[in-house]
Structure 1
Amino acid sequence: MAIYTKGGDKGKTSLFDGERVSKDSLRVSTYGTFDELNANISLADKFCISKRNKEILQRVEYRMFFLQGEIATQDAEKFRSQSRIITDDDVHYLESIIDNYTAQLPKVTSFILPGSSLAGAQLHVCRTVCRRAERQLVSFMKVNPVRPEIERYVNRLSDFLYIMARSEDHEDYLEKVIGEVVQRYYKAIGRLNDHG
């Protein structure tokens, strides 16, 4: 089956509820930016060292489908009757990760570069795309109703991505330190054997 439908050849696209709108509409631009964010989060999770961080990011990736779907529907009730939606439980989940990781990670006392590891750098890309998506959502909300749970979730999401970036940078640092210690140990053992 072909993935193209030719339905968008004249600059229109279909929303979740079947409504046809212009591809440059604010609604399409908003959920499209969240789609871009989700693709970047997916890339970030492939770079992660921590298995737990991978699992956390994948959970967020699935929640992004619910967020995008609701924005991509003019008849929000129709979407909510057929799909899961973002709730305050999802907001609290992000807050719990932010609070736990903030307590565990070393304190930041100055500006930091956006990522000292590959995963950290990619998560900072996610953070900046998230901020852009949030700005678009704010513009979208001026003319369209949006549930406050979605607004809260998006606002927490950029902070969550920041702390995840810090976590991966820290994991990368620890891995390098351990690698250096192991390397020095084997060098020392080698020298002892040479003199033994």
Structure 2
Amino acid sequence: MRIYTKFGDKGKTSLVGKVTDKDDPRVAAYGEVDELNAAIGLTIAFCKYSDIKEILTPIQKDLFIVGADLANPQGEKLNRINPIRVSEFEKTIDEIWEQLPALTHFILPGGTQTASLLHLARTICRRAERNIVALSKKEKVNPDIIVYINRLSDLLFTLARFANRKERVEEIIWKGKK
């Protein structure tokens, strides 16, 4: 099987056996989830902490499920995202948050390479979330996806702070115009 079909050369793609435009909101939504997955993969590639990698790797698998779910909202046989994952995220966030200094101001995204990549993944996650929410106002979307993506962005933020803490890199606080 070839990687190219030439079908997309006219701006069309196949969405669950149905021909649709490549700028269809559903195609855009799962495309952004794919971009998020790639950003997490890049983070894993550069991360030197096994504990962070162990958290991120299963998320990549989850995001394939999320993408499939977005591509086929009516699919009965899909392995839809398990809401238990959100509870697992919350537990991880709470455990890590206890190790971090209190957050009293906004912080600038950055710091270590891993933290910076996690912040980038977080912003991609937020964009995907906005577009999934917009899609959900027009078409059926599994509501568990919205909760999952929202909590994932919280987890990515927490992991970015954690990565900086591991390397003793101070967060840069933003206090407004100064």
TM-score normalised by L of structure 2: 0.89
Q: Counterparts of 1:150 and 1:3 in 2: how far apart (Å)?
A: 29
Q: Does 1:148 align with 2:148?
A: no
Q: Which residue of 2 aligns with 1:12?
A: 12
Deviation readout 1:31-87 (Å, 9 max, x if unpaired): 11111111001111122221011111011111000001110115332xxx1x42212
Q: Does 1:103 align with 2:98?
A: yes
Structure 1: gaps (5+ residues): 175-196
Q: Which residue of 2 aligns with 1:120?
A: 115
Q: Which residue of 1 aligns with 2:124?
A: 129
1:147 positional shift:
2.1
- Cα root mean square deviation, aligned: 1.4
| Equivalent residues, number | 169
Note if contact 1:87-1:150 (Cα within 8 Å) is conserved in structure 2.
Answer: no
Q: Counterparts of 1:160 and 1:52 in 2: how far apart (Å)?
A: 14
Q: Return the letter of the residue paired with 2:122.
A: R
Note if contact 2:73-2:141 (Cα within 8 Å) is conserved in structure 1.
Answer: no
Q: Counterparts of 1:10 and 1:74 in 2: how far apart (Å)?
A: 25
Q: Return the letter of the residue paired with 1:24.
A: D
Deviation readout 1:90-121 (Å, 9 max, x if unpaired): 11111111111101222233332212100000
Q: Which residue of 1 aligns with 2:3?
A: 3
Over the matched positions of the two proteins, sequence identity in percent amounts to 44
Q: Counterparts of 1:55 and 1:110 in 2: how far apart (Å)?
A: 29
What secondary structure, in the 3-state scheme, does the structure 2 residue paired with 1:60 have? helix
What secondary structure, in the 3-state scheme, does the structure 2 residue paired with 1:150 have? helix
Q: Which residue of 1 aligns with 2:47?
A: 48
Instruction: Choose from 97, 118, 133 the match for 1:138.
Output: 133
TM-score normalised by L of structure 1: 0.81
